Amino acid sequence: MTFLDPHSFENGEVMARMLGSFWSMWFNDQEKLKDILDGKGNAEYENYLQLKELTDSISKSDVPIFGKRYWRFVDFTSSEQSASDSLKNLYGTAGVVYGDPILYGQKRDSKYYSYPITEDMVGCSHLYNRVLDPSFVMTRGIDFDIDPTLMVINFYTDPLENELLSIKEVINDDGEVTDTIIGLWANNALVDKQHIWIHFGYVLNIWQKSSKYYRQFISALWDQLVLGPSKTAYKLAISAVTGIPVALGDEVVETILTEDHAMTIITDLNVYEYVPTAVPTVAVGDAVQQGSTMTDGFQVLIPTPTTDWSGISALSVGKQFMHFDSVNGPIVFENKDVALEYLSKDIEGRTIAQFEVHGVATDVSAFWSAVHKNGIADKTLANYLDTRADPIDEPSELDLPELINPFEFMMENIFANNAYVVHLKPAQFATDAPGLSYIGRMRLYMEAHTTQIIFIEMDPVTDYYSSSDLVDTVEFMGGLYHSDVIDTSEPAGYEDTGMLVDHGPVFSFVPELCN
């Protein structure tokens, strides 16, 4: 029924009917009565919104991202105004030139008239010059826009020139007008009261800008903390920092749409939107469970003998993880088959075997020395790789496999049951997602003796340089180690000091390929 809707209480006509037949039919001054009830109703509706905001804050899943204020008075001071040139795109097109320099589908707006807004206001639907019987209304997206990041409101026309707006003059002691203030009423204003942080985030000491991603991230970590760690909660947290949706429940895929602006997956319960370049990993008719990934934007893999590692090229293991004091830099294990090298036997008759890994030569040598030294106390690498069913002595070269995949060896023997392996594609992250700066905090809420290994797949970037007969000057910054520019060979005239020798940048011309 209409009168049970809380929003009806700010409608004077509805409330007049609720008072009874005398007030709604026989009382003469109906308009004044409705205005009075409108004012009282607005105040009560504002109380209702704040009460609902308070009760919703009890739940970590329903805690409001932003509070809602039915009416909020805002003012803007003319001295704080800044005007800026702008080019507004009407159709979102780019690259289609229709005349020069104007692009097709664009028009020039002469200026934005920008004013600062209060820190907690992030949006509103309309601006009115007064609450009751307004004579002037501005609509967001047509007359103005709000940028909560810069904390400014951008008007498309100068509000100071509008005679219908309430303008207050600021007069100094000499009677001179020094400034003017514009007063407006914001309807359906959204205010950021930091509810997620105040009620739940502070416990975990994790603050983010209020957003649906922050709420999902905190909710997932609370589940890990209170209910116990789980792969589902972990994937929900990854989804929150990347902005890539996962299934929210047990659902069935019904439709997959690929359009210019988005790729959309529709299930029997929800609609999930991704960037247009996302590649779905599900098909129509597939059943998905809560936490299931539906695109290749991110995957959470558990190291097992049957895990598909084809999308990952290598693993870099640092000193802090290995705990080898003699190894200073990371050791890289490539995801490819390499020859297992049978070296010899040590002075105790133990077989020495190793395979190709990458890193600084001194670190690689120290790594294999430490591996064999630690293995002597129990079983060496060669003992573990012995192919004989019941070995009774040290393996010979014929007792060892010819090939080994260093990456898979590490995953199956070192990280099995002790790691979540996350494969991420930042090109598919949501533009307003928090990003990977928070992913390290998730380690605190994982299972004991479990770590996370993050693989970030960057899009390749190709650049070209056209040489000429002119003398060009190039400046270089320090960067990552690369075998083309640094080696461990001994410079002529130097003794064997183990120094790294920087030969400088190496240029080569690569013919352009056309398919």
pLDDT tens for 471-498 read: 556 555 444 444 444 444 444 444 444 4
Same domain for 117 and 171: yes
DSSP lists the bridge partners of residue 76 as 182
Residue 370 maps to a domain: no
Show Cβ contacts of residue 74 under 8 Å, excluding neighbours closer than 6 positions: 117, 118, 121, 127, 183, 184, 185, 186, 189
Say if strands 166-171 and 152-155 run parallel, antiparallel, or are unpaired.
Answer: unpaired
What share of the chain in percent tops pLDDT 90?
Answer: 30
Domain boundary among 138, 159, 191: 191
Query: 93 and 13 in one domain?
Result: no
- For residue 363, being part of any structural domain is answered with no
Q: Are residues 115 and 146 in the same domain?
A: yes
Examine the domain organization and report whether 13 and 110 are in the same domain.
no
Residues 179 and 72 in one domain: yes
Q: Can you give the pLDDT at residue 293?
A: 92
Can you give the pLDDT at residue 510?
45
| Residue 441 is assigned to a structural domain of this protein | no
Distance CA 34, CA 352 (A): 94
Please state the pTM of the whole predicted model: 0.70
Residue 176 lies in a domain: yes
CA pseudo-torsion sign 420, 426, 431, 434: positive
Q: Own/partner pairs for 102-108, CB < 8 Å, 24+ apart?
A: none
Same domain, 163 and 84: yes
Residue 81 in domain: yes
Beta-bridge mates of residue 342: 353
Residue 256 located in a structural domain: no
Report the C-alpha gap between 317 and 490 in whole angstroms. 27
My answer on whether 130 and 81 are in the same domain is yes
Number of domains into which the chain is organized? 2
Does residue 12 lie in a domain region? yes
Q: How many helices (H) and strands (E) does the chain have?
A: 11, 24
What pLDDT is recorded for position 107?
46
Same domain? For 173 and 94 the reply is yes
The residue from 158, 191, 224 where one domain ends is 191
Widest pairwise Cα distance in the chain:
113
Query: Do residues 112 and 186 share a domain?
Result: yes
Band the pLDDT of 263: cuts 50, 70, 90.
very high
86 and 7 inside one domain: no
- The DSSP secondary structure of 331-384, one letter per residue, reads EEEESS-EEEEEEEE-TTS-EEEEE--BS-HHHHHHHHHHHHHHHHTS--HHHH
Range of the domain at 130: 67-191
Looking at 170, 191, 212, which one is the last position of a domain? Answer: 191
Q: What is the pLDDT of residues 398-433, one digit of tens each?
A: 999 999 999 999 998 888 888 889 999 988 998 888
Q: Do residues 45 and 77 both lie within one domain? A: no
Residues 44 and 157 both lie in one domain: no
Tell me what the pLDDT averaged over the chain comes to.
80
Instruction: Kindly state whether residue 205 falls inside one of the protein's structural domains.
Output: no
pLDDT band for position 269 (cuts 50, 70, 90)? very high
